């Protein structure tokens, strides 16, 4: 029999280590999303939220950059491990020459 115990200290130490190492950063592009995902990252699909973006950059791919602003806060409860992540996201339009134009934060 093996008993594994994880305390809040261990979980928060691991979260701090991942945050400090920069492992809580992700770039999401249309190539990383499944084809059946309901929202594709293009200016056409985001045009409902921001029509000016679609007018200025018609049907171009987009990229999302996500990152944690603070180390995650984890707490142990009888039903499991709960966490809070303070994050930010920035969207870019990818131009045909592969340069990125900031769209919104």
pLDDT of residue 49: 80
Is 2 within the bounds of a domain? Answer: no
Based on the structure, what is the number of domains in the chain?
1
pLDDT of residue 77: 82
pLDDT score of 26 more than 80: yes
Q: What is the largest CA-CA distance in the chain?
A: 63
1 lies in some domain? no
Model pLDDT for residues 56-72, shown as the tens digit of each residue = 988 899 999 999 999 99
pTM of the model: 0.76
Which position has the token pair 């945050």? 19
Residue 3 counted as domain residue: no
Over residues 8-24, the pLDDT tens digits come to: 888 899 999 999 999 99
Domain that holds residue 28: 8-102
Pick the closest to residue 69 from 55, 54, 86 (CA basis). Answer: 86
């Amino acid at each position: 029999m093996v008993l594994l115990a994880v305390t809040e200290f261990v979980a928060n130490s691991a979260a701090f280590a991942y945050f400090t190492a920069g492992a809580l950063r992700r770039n999401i592009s249309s190539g990383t999303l499944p084809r059946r995902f309901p929202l594709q990252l293009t200016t056409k699909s985001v045009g409902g939220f921001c029509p000016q973006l679609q007018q200025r950059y018609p049907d171009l791919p987009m990229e999302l950059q996500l990152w944690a602003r603070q180390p995650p806060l984890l707490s142990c409860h009888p039903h499991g491990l709960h966490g809070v992540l303070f994050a930010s996201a920035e969207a870019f339009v990818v131009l045909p020459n592969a340069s990125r134009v900031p769209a919104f934060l």
